[in-house]
Amino acid sequence: MTVATANPGTEPAWLQGALAGQRASLARAITAVEENTVDAARVLQAIYPLVGRALVVGFTGAPGAGKSTLVAACITEARRRGLKVGVVAIDPSSPLTGGAVLGDRIRMLSIASDSEVYVRSLAARGHLGGLSAAASRVVDVLDAAGKDLIIIETVGVGQSETEVSGLAHVTVLVCAPGMGDDVQMIKAGVLETADVYAVNKADLPEAHGVIRQLQAASHLAAGAAPAVVATIATTGEGAAELLDAVRQASAARALPHGQERLRRLRKTLETMAAMELERRLQSMDAAAVGLVCQSVLDGRCDFPHAVRQLLGRAITDPQENT
Ligand SMILES: Nc1nc2c(ncn2[C@@H]2O[C@H](COP(=O)(O)OP(=O)(O)OP(=O)(O)O)[C@@H](O)[C@H]2O)c(=O)[nH]1
Ligand SMILES: [Mg+2]
């Protein structure tokens, strides 16, 4: 068995470039882990010693609330503070609102040419091991590449969003007035998973009502009451306060670097092991599986035992041990 080396300095130039945060090399490393190409194992081996330093923030909220605009404003503010920023945008062009993709918003700003800002969009479908697993590996590459702040922008309010916000240390729920996403209408569970509420479009008069509702809702939270921050993403107002609130919320949850690194490595290894097990189960000898099924039907074998037999076969089948 060959093991990719983890010694710094022995990696190919593109991988060293990626770890140094160079844009083109970073793109190659991210594609490798996103699409699980032949380079993936080598990239993963190189990054995990370095993972666990970045602050990871998820932005969620209804389509059109202004997430992309607000993320762009927060990037500008973070750069003002000297932070290196990575962004993972999940399916950023919502068909519901036709909202501009994050990339478009960023192209309009001075951060477009900033080499310390790296933005990557992930399609919502078609990832090995699922979207959140792919997003998690991409976040880890950005972390290893020295980004201080990594922002994940998700779409809508759904399963994938909840999953993806689970990758973040801090989740910001972006609300806006007049979009049918009044507090009562925000899907159950979403308010509770957020650590900070951003009331965007605070230039609109109806924003006051949303702020009041969220302030009331924040006191119902089980843990620390989420901060409610008013923002006007189009002008950047409130972005500094929002980043301050995020920083404050993160203080309560930060793990020491070593522990965080282990937690993230474990997550990736578990995903990859599950993917490999799935692949082996799918490609198992049909006759052998048939025998196990038959023994269940005949009452010679109970379910837990049958499951253990399948798992045992999947792991030890010599055909699969290549
Ligand atoms: N008045 C006002 N409009 C804003 C503000 N922030 C964003 N918008 C507008 O709201 C619309 C939607 O903004 P996006 O940033 O695309 O919203 P989004 O939440 O990313 O949308 P999806 O990606 O489609 O879910 C755009 O037309 C923005 O210009 C704000 O603070 N005030
Ligand atoms: Mg968007």
Secondary structure (H, E, C), 141-203: HHHHCCCCEEEEECCCCCHHHHHHHCCCCEEEEEECCCCCCCHHHCCCCHHHHCCEEEECCCC
| Residue 257: pLDDT over 90 | no
| Residue 101: pLDDT over 90 | no
| Residue 75: pLDDT over 80 | yes
Q: Which of 69, 88, 91 to mutate to test the pocket of ligand 1 (most atoms within 8 A of CB)?
A: 69
* Ordered DSSP codes for 89-139: EES-S-TTT-PPPHHHHHHTSGGGG-TTEEEEEE-SS--TT-HHHHHHHHH
pLDDT tens digit sequence for 264-319: 999 999 988 998 899 999 999 999 999 999 999 999 999 999 999 999 999 886 65
Read off φ and ψ for residue 179, nearest 5 degrees: -125, 15
pLDDT computed for residue 96 by the predictor: 46
Average pLDDT, the chain: 85
Q: Ranked by mean pLDDT, which of 102-106, 107-111, 251-255, 284-288 comes out on top?
A: 284-288
| Cα 65 to Cα 173: distance, rounded to the nearest angstrom | 10
| Residue 199: pLDDT over 90 | yes
Give mean pLDDT, residues 251-264: 86
pLDDT tens digit sequence for 208-236: 999 998 898 888 777 788 999 999 999 99
| Residue 93: pLDDT over 50 | no
| Residue 151: pLDDT over 70 | yes
Q: Angle at the Cα of 133 (from 132 to 139), degrees rounded to 5?
A: 85
161 CA distance to ligand 1 centroid (A)?
18
Whole-model pTM?
0.87
* Ordered DSSP codes for 47-99: HGGG-S-SEEEEEEESTTSSHHHHHHHHHHHHHHTT--EEEEEES-S-TTT-P
Neighbours of ion ligand 2 (CB under 5 A): 67-68, 92, 99
What DSSP designation does 285 have? -
Q: At what angle do helices 23-35 and 131-144 cross, to 10 degrees?
A: 150
pLDDT computed for residue 100 by the predictor: 46
173 CA distance to ligand 2 centroid (A)?
13
Give mean pLDDT, residues 253-257: 79
| Residue 180: pLDDT over 50 | yes
| Cα 4 to Cα 57: distance, rounded to the nearest angstrom | 31
| Cα 194 to Cα 62: distance, rounded to the nearest angstrom | 13
Choice between 256 and 231, residue whose per-residue pLDDT is larger: 231
Closest CA relative to residue 87, chosen from 59, 48, 52: 59
| Residue 70: pLDDT over 90 | yes
pLDDT confidence band for 110 (50 / 70 / 90) = low
pLDDT computed for residue 63 by the predictor: 81
Quote the strand ranges of 187-253, DSSP E: 196-199, 227-230
Q: With pLDDT > 90 as the criterion, what percentage of the chain qualifies?
A: 58
Closest CA relative to residue 291, chosen from 304, 278, 309, 308: 309
Q: Looking at domain 49-255, which of 3.30.429.10, 3.40.50.300, 3.40.50.10490, 2.40.40.20 is its CATH number?
A: 3.40.50.300
Identify the residues whose C-beta falls under 6 Å from ligand 1: 61, 63-69, 92, 94, 97, 99-100, 155, 200-201, 203-204, 232-234
Burial of 82 (0-12, 13-18, 19+ CB in 10 A): exposed
pLDDT confidence band for 178 (50 / 70 / 90) = confident
Choice between 317 and 44, residue whose per-residue pLDDT is larger: 44
| Residue 3: pLDDT over 60 | no
pLDDT computed for residue 27 by the predictor: 94
- Tell me where in the chain the CATH 3.40.50.300 domain(s) lie: 49-255
| Residue 322: pLDDT over 50 | no
165 CA distance to ligand 1 centroid (A)?
20
- On whether the CB atoms of residues 265 and 259 are closer than 8 A, the answer is no
Give mean pLDDT, residues 255-267: 90
pLDDT computed for residue 95 by the predictor: 46
